Amino acid sequence: MRDRFLRACRRQPVDRTPIWLMRQAGRYMPEYRAVRERYGFLQMVKTPEVAAEVTLQPIQAFGVDAAIIFADILPPLEGLGFQLTYEKGEGPVIHNPIRQPRDVAALHSSDPRETVAYTLTALRLVKRELNGLPLIGFSGAPFTLASYAIEGGGSKEYRLTKRLMYEQPTAWHDLMERLSQLVAEYLIAQVEAGADAVQIFDSWAGALAPADYRDFVLSHTQNVVATVRSRLGEAAPPIIYFGTDMAGLAGELRQIGADVLGVDWRIDLDVAWAQYGYEHAVQGNLDPMTLFAPRELIAARAREILQRAGGRPGHIFNLGHGILTETPVDHVRYLVEFVQSFPLPAEATALQEVMQ
């Protein structure tokens, strides 16, 4: 059953819990590091054959239930006029960040089919190699992209972002509208290139108070989901929304309209699922640091998550965030094998057979 992941996204019966891992293609893998020695990070992203090779590495190494295209959330911003580099020890740097309303007005219009055509080509290359295994495309969410564009890089306080949001709400919503259009077009283009599902990464939205998420972010995130659905119609794929530190935003997240809501490790899976509503599938939620623990503890924590899911249709096993650098490869393999061999509860198996 190569469509376990997609069936789980739609809360349909599966014979076992599907698993894939955020950042499953990355620096912890020796195969990735060998490629990285020959290319800079942006060069890897922008060379379709290399991006395709790296995307396939964890499929070949671990047999996970879905591939996610090797890319990054920030290159689409280059089409709007942002100057992006990746600095050693610093991560991404935007050299012309937004500082005032006129900077928003000066942004270019952008068609991601042209500006990130390399990722779309990589998707097509990977699709041909997967033999029916699902392929996930992704984008940064409007808020997280806006935060990078304003802060100019990583941040702990998001001070500049929140000041623009509070002090210049017209410019803020103008920026968010531009970004929501960009994100929607990018996701649609990825589906057209072969993506079977798409994930929206809102890595920084956990920094917001619920009122701020409702007033400044929610409608724009909803617009992304609604645009993808309306434009693609019956061809619209499952849409996953993921952010960290968002346990206090359950009421807002359930309004987004995503098919699947990601859960980080700061809340028990069953508690989150009850808060989000069982009309959503859920994805998660092992702490990535657990992969540094002894195998016995990895098994115990994974078992607890699976038991909390209870065999209810709609659980996709994943980490609560991406795999960390230096994670032992054997521990990743062990986790995947453990989850894939874990039996559904007898009552859940019976229920799923009835649902079929």
Q: What CA–CA distance (Å, rounded) separates 180 from 220?
A: 6
CB 32 within 8 A of CB 103: no
Kindly name the residue from 7, 11, 16, 23 that is annotated as catalytic.
23
> Which residues sit opposite 242 in a β-bridge?
201
Residue 144 burial (10 A CB sphere; 0-12, 13-18, 19+): buried
Kindly name the residue from 7, 28, 32, 148 that is annotated as catalytic.
148
Residue 148 appears among annotated catalytic residues: yes
| The pLDDT of residue 91 | 85
Taking residues 198-226, what's their average pLDDT?
97
Confidence of residue 126 (pLDDT cuts 50, 70, 90): very high
pTM over 0.85: yes
Kindly name the residue from 10, 36, 124, 229 that is annotated as catalytic.
36
Residue 23 appears among annotated catalytic residues: yes
Query: DSSP readout, 237-276?
Result: PPEEEE-SS-GGGHHHHTTS--SEEE--TTS-HHHHHHHH
Instruction: Please write the tens of the pLDDT for every residue from 50-71.
Output: 999 999 999 999 999 999 999 9
Residue 215 appears among annotated catalytic residues: no
Residue 278 appears among annotated catalytic residues: no
Residue 27 appears among annotated catalytic residues: yes
Kindly name the residue from 3, 65, 72, 259 that is annotated as catalytic.
72
| The pLDDT of residue 155 | 86
Kindly name the residue from 27, 113, 254, 301 that is annotated as catalytic.
27
Amino acid at position 305, single letter: I
